[in-house]
Structure 1
Amino acid sequence: MARQLDEQIAGRFPVGQRLRVLDVGMGQGTQALRLARLGHQVTGLEQDATMIAAARAALSGEPEGIRERMRIIEGDGRETGAHFLPGSFDVVLCHGVLMYLQDPDALLAGLARVLAPGGLLSLLVRNGDALAMRAGLSGDWAGALGAFDDVSYRNRLGVDARADRRAALTDTLAGIGAPLHTWYGVRVFTDTAPDGTEPPADLETLLAAEERAGKTDPYRGVAALLHLCGVRG
């Protein structure tokens, strides 16, 4: 996922440019902090107090220069208009958020609004076109059958969520002025691995296989997650 994002950034912006990045639903701040370490000016937006505390704790252990490049704002991603002016960011991330919203269109429109012309919108969503895969590979045949028609599901944390179909999101991105530029599959081979599994000894080989599959048809189409990159017109 990080490699895919870096690939898109490298292909769109001059080398060495310090980008203005917004990470909506930043969680513990892993991606935001990584980008701040790379020299970018990063704003993380998060509403969960536990996640904010974890992000601030991680940031406090960084050198002063990195701490100065990253700010954390407590807030709802659907309220970007209340926090930021139009065109404020070169890159906007929204990873693992849409699946918890019944109607994400307003959020997406707000993200496009704060994106500068030519800017990159990076989304990570559950793949509604492959929702039956995990259930089927786990032997849950009833769940697999139901997933063909229903994009709602319960995740591993026991939280109700929903998936997105790529064709529908492609239309949405075009409608908000940030048409789809490219897309990847994420977790093609590893989605059914149990939580807490120790990394394999050949982790680099696994990551290379995942990266290749995430760019290659038909494998990327059955990935558990989709990474979609839109570009603001």
Structure 2
Amino acid sequence: MPDPTRPRSSLRTAVVWEVVSDALERRVKATGREALDVLDTGGGSGNFAVPVARLGHRVTVVDPSPNALFALERRAAEAGVADRVRGVQGDAHGLFDVVERGGYDAVLCHGVLEYVDDPAEGVRNVVAALRSEGVLSLLAAGLGGAVLARALAGHFKEAKRALDDPNGRWGESDPVPHRFTAEQLTALVEGAGLRVGAVHGVRIFADLVPGVLVDTEPGALDALLKLEAAAAEQAAFHSVATQLHVLGETPGAVEV
């Protein structure tokens, strides 16, 4: 997967990367430690883990795929951060079979919650990996974005089904088991004992704009990135975002 700090891929990841990097910087200032311990659940081949390691932090990636972990190892080596990235095979359900409970300053849980049987339990599990003062970066599929995408593709019955389905699924062949509203995600985070620091819509426009326009129109990529960033924090756009990002903070976390 592409690096979130590289321009083309940043159409989908820039907003999340900005929030994550800022949160890590605040934790560095609050703890007085330059290197934090970061857990990336479902981190795959290192889309976020490697850039986080480049900031100087120690990152443990938990992923069920051996192939993804092999790619992570290779990518970390190529980036010169192999000594700060560790990959272990596992999943959110059995998280503490492979990592330490309460051992991390920050936990990234990106693209995981959609696939666990019990999302509330999944959030509680990753929160339990945090130290008494820490932050959670939670990224999950948004309901509104899926409904909008099906409707714009002319699949109106599927759009309506996703809107009515308790899990936000548009049909039996839908590959995503769960989708969420911003309200549902914030409730899960608060239910796990964290306070919500911020909510952002992700990929509000990026998935709807033809790629050829972005690739060929001068200045289009930069303009679209700025538009995504400007709309991300506005609640009016959360309902149509492809993904939703919630930053959760432990009650003891100190803002700096």
TM > 0.5 fold call: yes
2:63 and 2:170 map into 1 onto residues whose CA distance is: 23
The one-letter amino acid paired with 1:168 is Q
Shift of 1:16: 6.8
User: 2:137 maps to what in 1?
Assistant: 122
2:211 and 2:175 map into 1 onto residues whose CA distance is: 15
Q: What SS does the aligned partner of 1:30 have? A: coil
1:180 maps to which of 186, 192, 196? 196
Q: Deviations over 1:88-125 (max 9, x none)?
A: 00110010111122322222111111101221101111
User: 2:121 maps to what in 1?
Assistant: 106
User: 1:231 maps to what in 2?
Assistant: 249
Shift of 1:46: 0.7
1:192 and 1:52 map into 2 onto residues whose CA distance is: 31
TM-score with structure 1 setting the length: 0.88
User: 1:89 maps to what in 2?
Assistant: 104
Shift of 1:172: 2.0
Shift of 1:180: 1.8
1:171 maps to which of 183, 187, 190? 187
The one-letter amino acid paired with 1:67 is A
2:37 maps to which of 20, 40, 43? 20
The one-letter amino acid paired with 1:163 is R
Shift of 1:83: 2.4
Pair 1:33-2:50 in alignment = yes
Task: Indicate if the aligned counterparts of 1:91 and 1:120 stay in contact, CA closer than 8 A.
Answer: yes
Question: Runs of 5+ in structure 1 lacking a partner?
Answer: none
User: 1:189 maps to what in 2?
Assistant: 205
After TM superposition, list the pairs within 5 Å mapping 1:147-166 onto structure 2: 147-150=162-165, 151-153=168-170, 159-166=175-182
Q: What SS does the aligned partner of 2:198 have? A: strand
2:93 and 2:113 map into 1 onto residues whose CA distance is: 11
**Count of aligned positions:** 230
Shift of 1:5: 1.6
The one-letter amino acid paired with 2:190 is A
Q: Deviations over 1:126-161 (max 9, x none)?
A: 112443111122222112211211112479x96243
Task: Indicate if the aligned counterparts of 1:129 and 1:166 stay in contact, CA closer than 8 A.
Answer: no
TM-score with structure 2 setting the length: 0.81
Shift of 1:85: 2.9
User: 1:56 maps to what in 2?
Assistant: 73
Task: Indicate if the aligned counterparts of 2:159 and 2:170 stay in contact, CA closer than 8 A.
Answer: no
1:47 maps to which of 64, 72, 78? 64
1:179 and 1:160 map into 2 onto residues whose CA distance is: 27
1:207 maps to which of 196, 216, 225? 225
Shift of 1:54: 1.4
Task: Indicate if the aligned counterparts of 1:153 and 1:162 stay in contact, CA closer than 8 A.
Answer: no
Pair 1:142-2:160 in alignment = no
Q: Which protein is richer in strand relative to its size?
A: 1
Q: 1:26 to 1:153 in 2, by over 3 A?
A: farther
Task: Indicate if the aligned counterparts of 2:40 and 2:61 stay in contact, CA closer than 8 A.
Answer: yes
Shift of 1:4: 2.2
1:229 and 1:85 map into 2 onto residues whose CA distance is: 22
Shift of 1:173: 1.6
Q: Deviations over 1:182-227 (max 9, x none)?
A: 1100011122356899745421221111111111231233211100
User: 1:73 maps to what in 2?
Assistant: 88
Which shows bigger deviation, 87-96 or 51-60? 51-60
**What is the percentage of aligned positions where both structures have the same residue?**
28
Task: Indicate if the aligned counterparts of 1:153 and 1:161 stay in contact, CA closer than 8 A.
Answer: no
